[in-house]
Amino acid sequence: MYPWDKREPNKPGKLRLMYEANPMSWLIEQAGGAATNGKERILDIKPSQLHERVSVILGSKNEVDRITSYHQSTQA
């Protein structure tokens, strides 16, 4: 898990979308888990630049849903 946080609001995340986040997300989803940036599914994100970085939350569907709900309630 590398979520966005308020300490560095200009950085959307640490992992590169095309080279790190997408491959791991694909593997996790094939195993029955979930992968999100906290707002949308990682594999649905269209890259806008070659080394675009994103927040990443990977794991079982239940755990990812729980973590996503925590982050949505703190961002409101």
Reported as a single tens digit per residue, the pLDDT across 10-50 is 878 889 999 999 999 999 999 999 999 988 999 999 999 99
pLDDT above 60 (res 7): yes
**Which pLDDT score, from 0 to 100, does residue 76 have?**
53
Long-range CB pairs of 32-38, under 8 A, 24+ apart, other chains included: 32/60, 32/61, 33/58, 33/59, 33/60, 33/61, 33/64, 34/58, 34/59, 34/60, 34/61, 34/64, 34/65, 35/64, 36/64, 36/68, 37/4, 37/12, 37/13, 38/3, 38/4, 38/68, 38/71, 38/72
Residue 66 sits in which domain range? Answer: 15-75
CATH number at 23 reads: 3.40.190.80
How would residue 75 be classed by pLDDT, with cut points 50, 70 and 90?
low
What's the pTM value of the predicted model, to 2 decimals? 0.82
In a domain, 3, yes or no: no
Could you give the percent of the chain with pLDDT greater than 90?
A: 66
The tally of domains found in the chain comes to 1
In a domain, 7, yes or no: no
In a domain, 67, yes or no: yes
